Amino acid sequence: MKAPSQKLPWKEITRELSFEVELVTPQFGGGSQARSVDLGQWLRPSAVRGALRFWWRGLATSNDIKALAASEASLFGSATRAGGFGPGRVSTVVQCKPLSDKDLEDCSFEQGNALNGAYFPASLPTARLLWPGATAQISIRASGIDSDTWDTVCNAIAAFVVFGGSGARTRRAAGAIVFRTENDAAKLGVPWERPEFERWIMRFATQAKVDLDMFSLSRTDAVYLTRSSSPKGIQAQTEILSAWREIRQDRDHPWGWKGASQWGRTRWPEADARRLIRKTFAVWADGTTHEPSARNGGRAPRSHLGLPIGFKFKDDQLPGHTHPTRGALKSPEPPRTELVPVAGVDRDRYASPVLLAVARCKVGHIGVIWVTSSLLAASDSVRFLDSQQTLSPGPWSATRERLTNQLSKNDALKRLHPDRE
C-alpha cells in the first residue's frame, strides 16, 4: 500500500493498492455475453467494481440508509439522479494473463457429482467453464478519502477476494478467487496462518448488527469451515457443496449413491404442499405411492434459502410410464414449476442467505459456509407459478435450526461461534 504524504490534507491524497489473484474453482460466464467467458479479460473491471460495492455495503455498520447510500455513491459512483450522477472516488484496473480455448472445458460433471449443485445452470444448454489457474493483477486507486474510509474500502476488497468470485453462481463458490501469495494477502491484512485466519473471519461475524433489508455479514448466525484443507480449490468446493446438497435435499440415500433413483423422499414439506395443491401424486402398479401428508399443506420453509426454487418431480411422466421395479405409473406427480414470491412482495427474487466460498491460507484451500439471517418474514407469502394458493415460509428460526443442526452433524465441518451467541 502506498504511504500518503504527511504534508498533504487527506482530501488531496491518492491511495493505491495492487495485488494478484488466482482462480481456484471453475468459472461460469463472467464475459460481456451471457454464459460465456471473455478469454482476453476473464475478470472484468466492471465486475470487480460491482463486487466491491456489494461487499462494502455488506460490511457497513450504519443503519442510516440515506447516509449509507450517499457514502456508497461517493465511493463507487452513481447513475441515478438521487445519488448524483458521476463516477466515484474509487477506480479499478484489472490486468489478466491471456487465455485460450484450451483453458475452457464443457460443463459435463457426472451424475451424483456435488459440483452440479453450483453449475447445473451451465448444463442447460451446455456452457464452457473456465478451468482454475487463471491469474490477474488488480489495482485499486482512491482519491480524496480519509484513512478511516480507505479502511472500509480495503475491508471490502479483502472480503471480495476471500468470500466472493467472478462470473455467475459465486454464492456457491463458483469462480472463486484467492490471493496468489502470502504477501498479496498481507497487503490487505488477511492472515496466512489458519488460526489467525479464523479469528479474522469472526471480526465480520461479531460486528454491530445492521437491521436494513439487505445482505449483511453483521447478521451472521453461524460460520462453518472444512476441518481439513485441500491442495486444490475445487476439492474444497466439492466438500462444502456435498454438505449443501444434504441440506437442500434432506432425504435418505444409500452410501455411494450414483443417481436420483436411489434417493428416498425429501423431508422438506414443499413437495407435499405441491401435491396437495395439484391433487395428484405418484402411484405405481405395485401399490407404491407418494401420498402427501396433510400436515405439510401450505408450508414452504425452504423459501428462506433462496427464491425462486425450481420443482421437477422425477415421476411427473404421463400415466403408463413403466418403472423398472414398481411397474406402470398409474398416477403422475405434479408438473414442473417454480416457487416464487407472491405479487406485491417487494422482491421478485431473493438471494440465499447462505454463502459458500473457497479461501486460501498457508495450509491450503478451505471451504467456507456462511449462514446469515433470512430477509423473508414469517408473514411473507410464496406460491407456485401455476397456482394462486399461497404458502408460508414460517419463521426463519425454525429453518435456521434445521440448517445448523444438519451442518453441525457433519464431521467434515468445524463451526465457528460468534461471541454474541
Cell of 41: 479479460
For residue 183, what pLDDT is reported? 97
First to last CA, the chain: 36
3-state secondary structure labels for all residues of the chain: CCCCCCCCCHHHCEEEEEEEEEECCCEECCCCCCCCCCCCCCCCHHHHHHHHHHHHHHCCCCCCHHHHHHHHHHHHCECCCCCCCECCCEEEEEEECCCCHHHEEECCCCCCCCCHHHHHHHECCECEEECCCCEEEEEEEEECCCHHHHHHHHHHHHHHHHHCECCECCCECCCEEEECCHHHHHCCCCCCCHHHHHHHHHHHHCCCCCCCCCCCHHHEEEEEEECCCECCHHHHHHHHHHHHHHHHHCCCCCCCCCCHHHCCCCCCCHHHHHHHHHCCCCEECCCCECCCCHHHCCECHHHHHCECEEECCCCCCCCCCEECCCEEEEECCCCCEEEEECCCCCCCCECCCEEEEEEEECCEEEEEEEEECCCCCCCCCEEECCCCCEEECCCHHHHHHHHHHHHHCCCCEEEECCCCC
The ranges of the chain with pLDDT < 70 are: 1-12, 80-85, 252-263, 343-348, 418-421
Cell of 162: 476471500
Domain ranges of the chain: 1-190, 194-250+269-280+293-308+333-421
**pTM of the complete model:** 0.90
For residue 213, what pLDDT is reported? 86
For residue 52, what pLDDT is reported? 96
Half-sphere exposure of 25 (CA within 13 A, CB side): 41
Q: Rounded CA gap, 367 and 238, in Å? A: 9
For residue 345, what pLDDT is reported? 52
| Digit-coded pLDDT (tens) for 146-171 | 999 999 999 999 999 999 999 999 99
